């Protein structure tokens, strides 16, 4: 049984989204985003980052771009790099737009009208 009680739905991608993470005073680097909710996301990378590190996440869903602040709350080594859990900190307008895009993405995925590139 899954004890995971999330406040908001989480969208899992069949193929990871390409994204970018930047940390204060460091060059941005590419990440693979595996799932997203309006409150957080899970990504993997070869870069070893410390827990509770603040960062800026950039990604696009259905041609809508997002750039949000976040903080690493979980990390675990995997076969292909390190898996991170990030809590997102965004303003109400970004929150609403992300919620709308995730909902639309989920609907298209269920209907089979979504082409993941």
- pTM score, two decimals? 0.86
Q: Tell whether domain 11-111 is in CATH 3.40.50.1820.
A: no
Q: Is it the case that residue 2 has pLDDT exceeding 50?
A: no
Q: Please report the pLDDT score of residue 116 as a whole number.
A: 59
Pair 99, 91: CB distance under 8 Å:
no
Helices (H), 1-117: 92-111
Instruction: Tell me how crowded residue 68 is: count the other CB atoms within 10 A of its CB.
Output: 19
Q: Which residue has the higher pLDDT, 86 or 111?
A: 86
Structure token pair of residue 68: 């949000």
pLDDT, averaged across the chain: 89
Q: What are phi and psi of 105, to 5 degrees?
A: -60, -45
pLDDT tens-digit map of 18-59 = 999 999 878 999 999 999 999 999 999 999 999 998 999 999
């Amino acid at each position: 049984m899954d004890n995971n009680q999330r406040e908001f739905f989480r969208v899992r991608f069949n193929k990871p989204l390409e994204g970018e993470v930047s940390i204060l005073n460091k060059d941005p680097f590419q990440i693979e985003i595996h799932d997203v909710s309006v409150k957080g996301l899970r990504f993997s990378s070869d870069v070893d980052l410390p827990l509770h590190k603040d960062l800026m996440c950039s990604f696009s869903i259905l041609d809508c771009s997002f750039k949000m602040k976040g903080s690493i709350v979980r990390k675990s080594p995997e076969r292909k790099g390190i898996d991170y859990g990030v809590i997102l900190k965004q303003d109400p307008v970004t929150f609403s737009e992300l919620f709308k895009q995730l909902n639309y993405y989920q609907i298209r995925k269920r209907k089979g009208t979504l082409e993941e590139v």
